[in-house]
Structure 1
Amino acid sequence: MWSDRYNYYNIQSDPEHTQELATNSVMDALLQTGNFAQKTHQTLSNASHFPWVDITLVKAKDGNFASSTKKTDFINLIAIVCAKGKNIDQQLYIKIFLKVAEKLNWRLYLEADD
C-alpha cells in the first residue's frame, strides 16, 4: 500500500507467514528497544523520544488480520504504520525494525515493495 503520509512495514518470517512466535516474547523484543510503549495486549506506540509509530501484533490468515480484544498466545505478523515526510528520517525506523527482525530471526518488509 502506498501513501504520501505513512509507510507500512511488516516483520514476519516469510511472505506466507509460516512461522509463529509467542506473543509475549515478541512484545518483550519490541519493548526492549526502548523506543516503543505498550498500549494494549497486541499494540504499541512510540515512546516520547521516537517518531510516531503504530505497531500491531497479529495472527494473520492469508495475509489478512484484524485487531481484537481477545489475547492470542502466538502471532505470525508484526504490522507497522509509521510517519512519512520530508522531516522524518526513515532510516531511524528501518534500523530499529531490522534489529527487531534479526532478534526474532524474521525479515522486514516494506508493503509498497509487494
Structure 2
Amino acid sequence: MWSNRYNYYNIQCNENFSQKLDKSVVIQCLLETEFFKQTNHQSFTNTDKFPWVDIILVETYNGDYSSSANVNQFVTLVAIVCSKGQNIDQQIYIDTFKQIANKLNWKLYLEEDDDGNENIEL
C-alpha cells in the first residue's frame, strides 16, 4: 500500500509467510528495544524515545489480516505503519526494524515505494 503520509513495513520470514514464531518471542524482541510499548494482545505503539509507529502481530498465511479480539499464539507477520514526511528520517525506522528482523531471523520489507515497486526487501 502506498501513501504520502505513511510507510508500511513488514517483518516476516519470506514472502510466503512460511514460518511462524511463538508470539512471546516476538513480544520480547520488541520490548527489548525500549522503543515500543504493548497496547493490547497484538498491538504496539512507540514510546517517547521513538517516532510514531503502529505495530500489529499477525498470524496470516496470505498476507490478509485485521485487528482481532481473538488472541493468537503464533506470529507470521509483524505489520508496521509509521510516519513519512520530509521531517522524518526513515533510516531510524529502517535500522530499528532491520535489527528486529535479524533477531527473529526474518526479513524486512517495504510494502511499496514512491515509484510503485512492491515488497522491497531491505
Query: What TM bracket, shorter-length normalisation?
Result: over 0.9
Q: CA RMSD in A?
A: 0.7
Q: CA deviation at 1:35?
A: 0.4
Alignment of 1:7-86 (within 5 A): 7-86=7-86
Could you tell me how far apart the structure 1 residues matched to 2:34 and 2:49 are? Answer: 9
Structure 2 residues without counterparts, runs of 5 or longer: 113-117
Q: For this pair of structures, how many residues does the alignment match?
A: 114
CA contact (8 A) 2:52 2:83 kept: yes
Q: How far apart, in 2, do the equivalents of 1:49 and 1:29 lie?
A: 16
In structure 1, runs of 5+ residues without a counterpart are none
Question: 3-state DSSP class of the match of 2:81?
Answer: strand
Percentage of pairs with the same residue? 51
Q: Which has the higher contact order (CA 8 A, sep 6+)?
A: 1
List structure 1 runs of 4+ shifted beyond 6 angstroms.
Answer: none
Partners of 2:66 and 2:6 lie apart in 1 by 19
Q: Shift in Å at residue 49 of structure 1?
A: 2.0
Q: Distance in 2 between matches of 1:29 and 1:84?
A: 24
